[in-house]
Amino acid sequence: MITREKQPPNLEMPFGTLDGFITPTERFYVRCHFPVPRIDEKTWRLRVEGSIGRPAQFSLVDLRELPSETITTTIECAGNSRVFLVPKVKGVQWELGAVGNARWTGVRLRHFLEQAQVRPEAREVILEGTDKGTIAEPPRPAGEIHFARSVPIGKAMDDVMLAYEMNGQPLTPSHGFPLRAVVPGWYGMASTKWLQRIIVSDQPFNGYYQTVDYAYWQRGDSGPTLAPLSEMPPKAQIARPEPGEVIAAGSNYLINGAAWVGEAEIVKVEVSIDRGKTWREAKLDDNPQKNAWRLWRMEWETPVAGSYTLMARATDSRGRIQALERNGDGGTYMIDHCLPIEVEVR
Amino acid sequence: MITREKQPPNLEMPFGTLDGFITPTERFYVRCHFPVPRIDEKTWRLRVEGSIGRPAQFSLVDLRELPSETITTTIECAGNSRVFLVPKVKGVQWELGAVGNARWTGVRLRHFLEQAQVRPEAREVILEGTDKGTIAEPPRPAGEIHFARSVPIGKAMDDVMLAYEMNGQPLTPSHGFPLRAVVPGWYGMASTKWLQRIIVSDQPFNGYYQTVDYAYWQRGDSGPTLAPLSEMPPKAQIARPEPGEVIAAGSNYLINGAAWVGEAEIVKVEVSIDRGKTWREAKLDDNPQKNAWRLWRMEWETPVAGSYTLMARATDSRGRIQALERNGDGGTYMIDHCLPIEVEVR
């Protein structure tokens, strides 16, 4: 793993090591805003509260007795590929590896909400973590805050999962032990780790990680408005070759990578070796699964010696095509344009 | 006037010159975010749009033919008294004079909304100015934006005024010519100047001046959440003596000032000459008017020579008493604690 920040741990996978559909837990990126909480599973409880008729608490033993499901979902950090932004912007300088695809086992959030007698005014569900700390830069709230994010009630009732296992094993501390949210199709900040509270709310939640952080300026008729980041737009990334790789001329090189999108399907990946002037279609893996990435590959008969800029671009089932150039509306997030990978053929 | 910023103009009244209930227009503070727009009243139009059945446009001639009202309202900049914050914070370093009380003549916003056939889903009314520019510091939207603020539909239908006159004269360019909003009881940022659009919205408006700027962290059960500034809490300010003033010992000095509050009434002002240890009640002017300040005064038989710290504190009809110490939740805004005025008796 590449360490981007030591304390709290922020680690990414060297994306060139991508070698299968499932990202092993030890190579799955770690994003922490505050120190990893040490949680005693015997005393830990998940509380369900807010705009509901029946507040409740659950121990880890309780959770494991509820009907479980397993889903395979890709989670990408909203700042993944930030190092490609010019000029440099604030935030963790992720390359390509703040993304992974894992199997998550747990209980659907819907299950808890159905038991809770949610009031008809309910609009959102806040997922609050145990992790906490203070924010240094204004505009910032005074004192300690917990990491927290919300999802609209519709999404909460649809497919959000509260997971206690990752790839068939209990969550590790840095991946949210004992319980984390998995919000399929959304950027990673929505999938709150170390869950402690599920709060049903009648109001849009304007917490720090929903407004100042992890938000973007959405264009509209009344000017730009601040909106929380949510779904992942279509994105293909090249795993091999890696940036700066040196490749033998006149050989057969297998370009490979992954492509993903939230709430849709990847239907095409194309590759360019001339910085987006011409494109060739890559071969996609069969059996796409909703909200999980698709691996892809393309054979490349390497040309004469020289510098080449490779790019991949994805098309999704809603007809969206990855853009060649950055659209600045995402600010320091949503780096979803075609990323240039410079290589040397010798 | 004291110039805090030359371009765009940001000017405050030397608060020690307070000498009457109405602040003359030329001594009323000026707060501009972008250059003062030059507006040709012949081509200017107010557009009413959004979640309504009947969009409409009004010229200044149209507006002057509508039924008019005149109200007296105090407007305070949300950053007034910022220079008293220790340590120093970002923003215009206002002393005491970014507040004024004027007579405003115009048409109630209600009148336009009643004609517009507002849809039942409507939640807020956005007041958009003609003034525009770019924001330098992140988190910021890309490109030019207009100044814009919203009020809840209930407030919009209650007492918000669209004013074309200030103190009996057409608005001056720096006070919003040809038309500005006056949102009684709210901090000044709500009273959008140089109005160009009234947009009825079904959603909470998350524009820049509602989230990153002119917002504060409201404490709540789910942690702090970002909320737009709105009503002015009770606040008394001392006009004379001024900070640093030298006063003759053994004389009769008339301490005076003003006190105001949004959506309530000032019922008491007290003065301390020992930094808040003991308090004496000041004499309030008669005939309080809702959302207009009350002038107050207190005779002070000046004591033996020495340094004294004067303070004033207001109590309102809702039982709220101005706090002695700053509560940090307001961040760089809502400086509503008792402000220490240091003087020298000789």
| pLDDT digit string, tens, across residues B254-263 | 999 999 999 9
CA-based nearest residue to A315, from A277, A256, A254, A260: A260
Separation of first and last alpha carbons in chain A: 29
ipTM reported for the complex, 2 dp: 0.89
| Chain A CB contacts of B227 below 8 Å | 206
CB contact under 8 A, A225 and B207: yes
| pLDDT for the residue numbered A216 | 96
Q: Are B12 and B98 in contact (CB under 8 A)?
A: yes
Q: Indicate the burial class of A317 (C-beta count within 10 angstroms; 0-12, 13-18, 19 or more).
A: middle
Longest dimension (CA), chain B: 70
Residue A167: half-sphere exposure toward Cβ, Cα within 13 Å? 14
| pLDDT for the residue numbered B327 | 85
Residue A279 pLDDT grade (very low, low, confident, very high; cuts 50, 70, 90): very high
Which pTM does this prediction carry?
A: 0.93
Is residue A327 scored above 90 in pLDDT?
A: no
| pLDDT for the residue numbered B221 | 93
Fill in the amino acid letter for B188: G
CA-based nearest residue to B256, from B292, B293, B295, B228: B295
A93 to chain B nearest CA, in Å?
17
Distance between CA atoms of B99 and B75, rounded to whole angstroms?
Answer: 6
Is residue A116 scored above 90 in pLDDT?
A: yes
CB contact under 8 A, B145 and A224: yes
Q: Under an 8 Å CB criterion, which residues of A touch B?
A: 50, 89-90, 126, 128, 138-143, 145-146, 148, 197, 199, 201, 204-208, 211-212, 215, 217, 221-227, 328-329, 331-332
- Over residues A42-71, mean pLDDT: 98
| pLDDT for the residue numbered B43 | 98
Estimate the share of chain B in helix, then strand, then coil, as percent rounded to the nearest 5.
Answer: 10, 40, 50
Q: Which of A141, A222, A329 sits opposite B217 (nearest CB)?
A: A141
Assign B125 to helix, strand or coil. strand
| pLDDT for the residue numbered B287 | 85
Q: Which of A204, A212, A223 sits opposite B148 (nearest CB)?
A: A223
Q: Are B91 and B4 in contact (CB under 8 A)?
A: no
Helices (H), B120-265: 153-158, 208-211
